[in-house]
Each structure stands twice: as structure tokens, then as C-alpha cells.
Amino acid sequence: MASRPPSVRASSPRTQKTKQLPAGARRAVRKDSSPGWGRWMFGGWLLFVVWLSVEYVRLPDVRALQTQNPRTTALITQRAEEALAEGKKPRVRQAWVPLEAVAPHALDAVLSSEDARFYKHEGVDWIEVENALEQSVRKARLGRGASTLTQQLAKNLYLSTDRSLLRKGKELLLARQLETHLSKQHILTLYVNVVEWGEGVYGIEAAAREHFGTSARALSVAQGAMLAGMLPAPRRWLPAQKPETLRIRAGAIIGRLQREGRITATQAREAQAELSRFFGETSVPGSVVEAISRLSSES
């Protein structure tokens, strides 16, 4: 009796192509084509959308800021709690001032340092986000932040300083709300009056008096650049301690202000000379020149 030949099942073109691949590639194809991944991704996205919807409803009403200044902020409250936990008395120095009471070059320094595209975005600067991501990938580590001035204001007013993704999501939603209900000038006014500028120091008027013994209106170009340079680490980069990082950042900010036409070449030279005197230098150090050059190339 003749033996029956083994049954042969027709292979689909996809199966035939997969069989021609190396073993490792075939495993990758099978893994990628697993329907479970798609369900997990869809489920995660759905949960994220639901979470955003719930949190959007629960967000504080920023419209109250249209008619009154906040009596306190989430950051001030957090710092007070931290001080009490360390057995210290909370310290709060703050004095509200309108933008007209702040030296224009000091405001320009803050914008140049923290959010150069402030008047061009609607709360989130996606161009800066993309640049920050590219820089992180290129250096294989987390680089600069990409928070706009509006996002920083949202965090200071309503959120904590933790770095969780959930907090970042709330920050983005609040930033959009602030941009919807407040003018750019109002947002800038709030920012320069609530941002932290040292331990227990909030707002540019208190900062000017704390660090330089003058008013915000009388800040020099160099002093304004130093205050702007403090903002990424306002409790560490204190002018009284004359940290190298602050000197370099302030020098770079002065260079950018000159390049953007915010100050004249004469003002820039005088500001750099003032920086040198403040930090005990007889001339502008090469590191500052290099920092200015790097800043110019990134713009």
C-alpha cells in the first residue's frame, strides 16, 4: 500500500517572506505583530485621555487672576512646609510691582534667558521642546528643560516642584488656560512677581533689594542679567556667593541682549565690565566669551 504523502498547507505570502528571514528577525516580526501590544497601547492612550478630561475639570479657575493677584502660591506654601519640617521659621519677602516699575533691560534679560519666544507661542513652545529632545538624544542624556515662562508660572502658582509626568500634564493644561484667559503682559507681570529668587525671596522687586540693595526700576544691565541667570537654580546661584555658573550665564545673557538689539554695544561693554568688578575679575574671562559664542550658535 502506497504511503500517503505528508499534507502540505498553503503558505501565505507573509509566511513565505518571514521564513526567508534569519531566526532573530523572525522572532522580531512575530513579537511586533502580536495583537497584545496594540491593545496595550490603545488602552494606555484611552486612560491618558480620560485622565486629562478628569483633571481638566478639576483644574483651578485661572480667571480669578484677571481681577486679583494671588495671595500666595503653591511654591510659597511648599517652601514654608519645608522650612517648618527643618525646624526653621518660614521666610517670605515679596512686593508686587507693575511692569512699568521694572527696568526694561531686566525684563528683556528674563525673557531672553527663560523664554525667548514668549510672544510667539500659546503656552507651550513646541519648537523649543523639539530642540531640547534633539539635544538630549545627541548627548545621550537629559539636557535643558523646555518649559515656557507660562508653564513655569502655572507650576509656581498651582503645582509642586516634583518631576512626575502627571504633574507635567497638569502644567501643560494650566499653561493653556493661562494663555486663554490672560494677556501676555498680565502673564509676564504675574511671573516676575511670584518667581523664586533666593530662599524666601519672591518677585523681582524683593530680589533686587535682597541681592543688590536697589529697586527693580533701578537695576543695571549687569544686575538684571544676574537675576535672570539665577532662575534655573535660584536658591543655589546666589550673587553673594559669586558662583562661576552665574557669572558665565549672566555674561552670555548680556551678549544675547546686545545681539538682539535690546542694549547697545556700549551698554554691553559696561555691563560686562560691571560683572568683572562684581566677581573680582579685571577683564572679561575667556569662558564668558566662549559661553556667548555657544549661545549665539544655538540661536
Residue 93's H or E segment, with its range, is strand 93-94
> Is 230 in contact with 238 (CB distance < 8 Å)?
yes
Domains parsed from the chain with CATH numbers = 94-298 (1.10.3810.10)
pLDDT digits (tens, 9 = 90+) for 225-246: 999 999 999 999 999 999 999 9
Higher pLDDT among residues 51 and 156, named by residue: 156
In this structure, the strands spanning 201-202 and 93-94 are parallel
Q: Which of 76-80, 131-135, 206-210 has the lowest mean pLDDT?
A: 131-135
Instruction: Give the residue-averaged pLDDT of 84-97.
Output: 96
Q: Which of 171-175, 182-186, 202-206, 214-218 has the lowest mean pLDDT?
A: 171-175
| 202 DSSP assignment | E
Task: Please determine, for residue 7, whether its predicted confidence score (pLDDT) is greater than 50.
Answer: no
d(Cα 224, Cα 142) in Å, to the nearest integer? 28
d(Cα 212, Cα 209) in Å, to the nearest integer? 6
pLDDT at 25: 45
Residue 121's H or E segment, with its range, is none
Choose from 8-17, 126-135, 160-169, 238-247 the range with maximum mean pLDDT.
238-247
Question: What's the pTM?
Answer: 0.75
The number of C-alpha atoms within 13 Å of 280 and in the hemisphere containing its C-beta is: 6
CB-count burial class (<10 Å; 0-12, 13-18, 19+) for 178 = buried
Beta partners for residue 202, in sequence order:
94, 196
C-alpha cell at 68: 486679583
Q: How confident is the model at residue 285 (pLDDT cuts 50, 70, 90)?
A: very low
pLDDT digits (tens, 9 = 90+) for 152-194: 999 999 998 887 777 888 898 999 999 999 999 999 999 999 9
d(Cα 45, Cα 197) in Å, to the nearest integer? 38
Could you give the 3-state DSSP secondary structure of residue 98? coil
